[in-house]
Amino acid sequence: MKEEMSSVDIRYVVRELQWLVGSRVDKVYHDGDEIRIKLRTKEGRADLILQAGKRFHLTSYVKEAPKQPSSFTMLLRKHLSGGFIDAIEQHQFDRIVKIRVGDYTLIGELFRRGNIVLVDSENRIVAALRYEEYKDRAIKPKAEYKFPPARENPLEVSFERFLELMREDENLELVRALARKLNMGGMYAEEISIRAGFEKTTPVRELSDEDLRKVYEAMMGTFNDEPRPNIVYKDGNMHDVVPIELKIYEGLEKRYFKTFSEALDEYFGKLTIEKAKIEKTRKLESKKKQLLATLRKQEEMLKGFEKAMNENQEIGDLIYANYAMVERLLDEFRKATEKLGWEEFKRRIEAGKKEGNKVALMVKAIDPKEKTVTIELEGRKVKLYLNKSIGENAELYYEKAKKFRHKYEGALKAYEDTRRKLDEVEKLIEEEMKKELNVKRIERRKKKWFEKFRWFISSEGFLVLAGKDASTNETLIKKHMSDNDLYCHADVYGAPHVVIKDGQKAGEKTIFEACQFAVSMSRAWSQGLYGADAYWAYPNQVTKQAPSGEYLGKGAFMVYGKRNWLRGLPLKLAVGVINYEGEDYVVCAPVDAIKAHTSKYIVIRPGRLKKGELVKKIRGILEKWGYKVREEDLNAILPPGGGEIVEVVG
């Protein structure tokens, strides 16, 4: 499975991302070995990710930034934020990208462990992800930045030079010669071999100059092929992501993308999520492993204690079951040892065994120090203490059984405690896995025309639009209001213009919702009002023509004729995720309009919570419902000023 981008990948993505030149650097984030550059482009926001030793592309998988920015982050922000991208380049054909922002250049080294280095206009190192020294160069503050030793660039090599390189070691197989001599991976060397019509294992010595010309042309054709970005799957799993159609992957399942950056983002984004998921549960899995090991030991101990408890109990019972015989043996053994002594007693027992004496054959061990004789009774070995009575001997075994019972009970309690801890850890792992799997990513895509404005879909299904500022107010009325629409406006200075598309077919409910939207998105909200007035009119009543002697600024219009008033409209909205034209959108709109399109929503009204706090609370609720929404997206759709949550439905 692919883990990092190749030189070919970098060539294609750098060519593709030239449209970012001229974009403004908004902010830079740093987490581990990757940085994310938040950009303001002509298409809106874009996030460029650069991961040392791994990848470089636009991303929609945006991690939450660390609460405490690193010193590297602060240096990057200091020198890059607010600047404009002047160039995005690949250094020769190496796995190195350069992003020039004003007087500074950010260099991403994507080979081996990798690095990210910021240099100034004099090519002096300002900051780096990590400082290191090599045989031929050093990455340290104020040192001159040097690229790694140059390698052959297959895009610039002439056929004569290509021929020379290939003939340097003619014993090499074609695929190895291409990979070693011309700075390309084995995969592309194999692809070129196939395109040229030769087996990859063909020794170079077997190829004529004309054959090598075919290889050369195949190489140039491969590295200049038309983009056809795709992710390659093997056995249902992602295997590779490539910028062009490759013959080596013919017959395998593929998923195609409009851009290579999108393909890279999908591939590495999912890879990152899987790794993050594994990392998130790694400690829990380690704890689970420890608990399982403890559980196995405790199970063995329980078995041992239970066995010892039962054996001792059974031996005590056995002594009483054979009371007369055991008492007789104790008496005989006691008298014999007192009369003969232990050594002579042992000798006579051994002699008795040879003669087949039944009592002697019962004896299995004699211990003069303990003054015990071990006999076999009904297949069990029973140690008898000659200085104790039969009752005392039996009691010894009952006491042992009792001790082992206590040990068993203690071990069982410990086992149950470990089992409970294991269940808790397994539950936590399951919850973490569910969290990761249930969170939806609302895809980044080119915004549709109506998203330039505040908008919602009324409960009757009509598209309602509102301006965000003077520019969008001007655009909305001039370019997007037609004769079949309706116009709405709040009786509040600076309120947005609101247009109901095809509104002359709309019912009273849609008009009410549009006017409520107009008052809620006005300054009345930030002033903490609970009600305000609004009106609706026809498009032909709205004009840029000002009364004599007056001038209407950007976004201002005059309304002539009858105004249809709605008084005391409540400032109350709801936030929810609705599906419109096949895509999910987070929308803030009148409650009835949201309720008509989703069963889960959050009702808000003006309140004392600061807007940032309100955004965080709403975001948290949406995440519990499975929607990963950025704070800035919520910030953009909410009314001006603070507020409070009055109801959560769902």
d(CA 81, CA 104): 11
Q: For residue 343, how far is the Cα from the chain centroid?
A: 79
Residue 246 in this model has a pLDDT that exceeds 90: yes
Q: Are 202 and 173 in contact (CB under 8 A)?
A: yes
Residues 396, 397, 399, CA angle at the centre, nearest 5°?
65
User: Which pLDDT score is estimated for 348?
Assistant: 93
| pLDDT per position as a tens digit, 548-578 | 777 788 889 999 999 999 999 999 999 999 9
Dihedral of the alpha carbons of 83, 87, 93, 97, in degrees to the nearest 10: 10
User: Which pLDDT score is estimated for 56?
Assistant: 97
User: Which pLDDT score is estimated for 134?
Assistant: 87
Three-state secondary structure of 49-99: EEECCCEEEECCCCCCCCCCCCHHHHHHHHHHCCCEEEEEEECCCCCEEEE
User: Which pLDDT score is estimated for 628?
Assistant: 82
Compute the mean pLDDT over every residue in the chain, rounded to the nearest whole number. Answer: 91
Q: Which of 471, 454, 475, 474 is nearest to 463 (CA)?
A: 454
What long-range pairs does 107-111 form, CB within 8 A, spacing at least 24? 107/145, 108/50, 108/52, 108/56, 109/52, 109/53, 109/148, 110/4, 110/5, 110/10, 110/51, 110/52, 110/53, 110/54, 110/55, 110/56, 111/53, 111/148
Residue 588 in this model has a pLDDT that exceeds 50: yes
pLDDT, average across residues 637-647: 94
| pLDDT per position as a tens digit, 608-620 | 999 989 999 999 9
Residue 442 in this model has a pLDDT that exceeds 60: no
| pLDDT per position as a tens digit, 458-497 | 999 999 999 999 889 999 999 999 999 999 999 998 899 9
Q: Which of 431, 438, 432 is nearest to 627 (CA)?
A: 438
User: Which pLDDT score is estimated for 550?
Assistant: 78
Q: Where are the beta strands (DSSP E) in 144-229?
A: none
Q: Which CATH number fits domain 7-139: 2.30.310.10, 3.40.50.11810, 3.20.20.70, 2.40.50.140?
A: 2.30.310.10
The Cα-based distances of 99 to 56, 89, 107, 225, 330 in angstroms read 11, 7, 6, 25, 98
Question: Which tokens in the block code for residue 444?
Answer: 């980044």
Q: Reading across the β-sheet that carries 85-90, which strands appear in turn?
A: 85-90, 96-101, 104-109, 115-119, 125-128
Q: For residue 546, how far is the Cα from the chain centroid?
A: 56
Residue 444 in this model has a pLDDT that exceeds 70: no
| pLDDT per position as a tens digit, 248-278 | 999 999 999 999 999 999 999 888 777 666 6
pLDDT, average across residues 154-159: 92
Q: For residue 59, how far is the Cα from the chain centroid?
A: 13
d(CA 275, CA 63): 13
pLDDT, average across residues 388-415: 94
**Predicted confidence band at 440 (pLDDT cuts at 50, 70, 90)?**
very low
Question: Which tokens in the block code for residue 294?
Answer: 């403890």
The residue ranges of every structural domain in the chain are 7-139, 159-256, 449-649
Residue 370 in this model has a pLDDT that exceeds 80: yes
User: Which pLDDT score is estimated for 433?
Assistant: 64
Q: Are 94 and 7 in contact (CB under 8 A)?
A: yes
H helices of 229-357, where?
260-321, 323-340, 342-355
Residue 6 in this model has a pLDDT that exceeds 80: yes
CA-CA-CA-CA torsion sign (193, 198, 202, 207): negative
As its CATH architecture, domain 159-256 has: Orthogonal Bundle (1.10)
d(CA 271, CA 262): 14
d(CA 458, CA 31): 42
| Burial (CB count within 10 angstroms: exposed 0-12, middle 13-18, buried 19+), residue 98 | middle
Q: Reading across the β-sheet that carries 573-580, which strands appear in turn?
A: 583-589, 573-580, 601-609, 643-649
Q: Which of 34-38, 44-48, 302-306, 419-423 has the lowest mean pLDDT?
A: 44-48
Give the predicted TM-score (pTM) of the model.
0.55
Q: Which of 145-154, 353-362, 422-431 has the lowest mean pLDDT?
A: 422-431
Question: Which tokens in the block code for residue 271?
Answer: 């890879």
Please provide residue 521's backbone torsions phi and psi, each rounded to the nearest 5 degrees. Answer: -90, 10
User: Which pLDDT score is estimated for 527?
Assistant: 92
pLDDT, average across residues 195-209: 95
| pLDDT per position as a tens digit, 47-71 | 999 999 999 999 987 776 777 889 9
d(CA 505, CA 222): 57
Helix (H) or strand (E) holding 416: helix 390-438
User: Which pLDDT score is estimated for 583?
Assistant: 86
Residues 590, 593, 599, CA angle at the centre, nearest 5°?
110
What's the DSSP call for residue 236?
T
Residue 344 in this model has a pLDDT that exceeds 60: yes
pLDDT, average across residues 82-108: 95
Strand partners, 628: 441
